[in-house]
Amino acid sequence: MSVWVDAHAPLDERKFDHDREEVLERASVSGVQAIVSAAVSLESCHATLKLAEHFPSVLAALGIHPQEVGDQLPNLDVLQAMLQSEKVVAVGEVGLDFYWDTTHKDNQREIFRFQIRLAEKKNLPLVIHSRSAHQEVMEILHTERVHVPVVWHCFAGDARELKEILKRGYFLSVGGITTFPKARRLRALLRNIPPERLLLETDSPYLSPQPRRGKRNEPAYLLHTAQCVAEERGTAVEEVRECSFNAFMEAFPGSRRFFA
């Protein structure tokens, strides 16, 4: 048995406030039976947890996004307490982002390290957000001696970065970007990812795949990315579903009980 799983979509976003239930219904009709809703701040962790506890198909990844880190360090005891919930399957999204705002680099690093330790302590996988910070994210994961599964969300790197990520045994999650006409180089890399390490995501409401570009993204559109992956790899779309589902189970072991 396999179903489509959206490995990353911040469903607590305001853009879903008026029709979240319909969005989840459309996902279900399309065969997307589980969605990992990833939080970005403490406030968003609370909202995400609420959603996960309310909707059976929503699983939660709780963490502080690097661009949400400011002068003040958030109260991470609160985060730790929330990780107890049954529906939490990962710590994330966490990492470093030096693309827009680099004022709080040291705080970003500190919060990232703290959350890695939290994931290790709770034996939860880590969902990584990395932008303009590849080498340093890799370095921190190395020095922290991470043992839990690592999922590299929204992978959009080059061949060298991919090689490094695969060498470490991490999982890669690819989204709508891979379907963009200009993403030829990224698409070509899809063939180098072993099927047991490849996950699919939408990152809804952002980064809609090509046929829906310019519109709000939603988990049902995962199938456009899946179709693109299947074409690029020269396999049937059902095979992509099977493999990405199995990879998801390995990457997020805590989600297995929801598919029993």
Whole-Å CA distances, 143 to 114, 137, 161: 13, 10, 18
87 binds Zn ion (CB under 5 A): no
CB of 37 to Zn ion, least distance (A): 13
Instruction: Please tell me whether residue 35 adopts helix, strand or coil conformation.
Output: strand
User: Which CB sits closer to Zn ion, 94 or 243?
Assistant: 94
Site size for Zn ion, by CB under 5 A? Answer: 2
Cis peptide, bond prior to residue 25, ω within 30 of zero: no
* Nearest distance from C-beta of residue 44 to Zn ion, angstroms: 12
In angstroms, what is the minimal distance from the CB of 57 to Zn ion? 21
Nearer to Zn ion (CB atom), residue 129 or residue 241: 129
- Rounded Cα distance, 209 and 166, in Å: 25
Nearest distance from C-beta of residue 25 to Zn ion, angstroms: 25
| Contacting Zn ion within 167-226 (CB under 5 A) | none
Q: Which two tokens stand for residue 68?
A: 């949400």
What count of other Cβ atoms lies within 10 Å of the Cβ of residue 189?
A: 21
**Looking at beta carbons only, is 129 or 134 nearer to Zn ion?**
129
Residues paired with residue 127 on neighbouring β-strands, in sequence order? 151
- Residues 111-150: x where in contact with Zn ion by CB under 5 A, - otherwise, as a string: ------------------x---------------------
Q: What whole-number distance in Å separates Cα of residue 147 and Cα of residue 122?
A: 12
Contact (CB, 8 A) for 141 and 109: no
Nearer to Zn ion, 93 or 161 (CB): 93
Q: Which residue is nearest to Zn ion (CB)?
A: 129
Tokens 């996960």 — which residue? 52
Cβ at position 1, least distance to Zn ion in Å: 30
Of 170, 195, 197, 20, the C-alpha closest to 92 is: 170
Q: Compare residues 93 and 218 and give the one whose CB is closer to Zn ion.
A: 93
Binding site for Zn ion (CB under 5 A): 93, 129
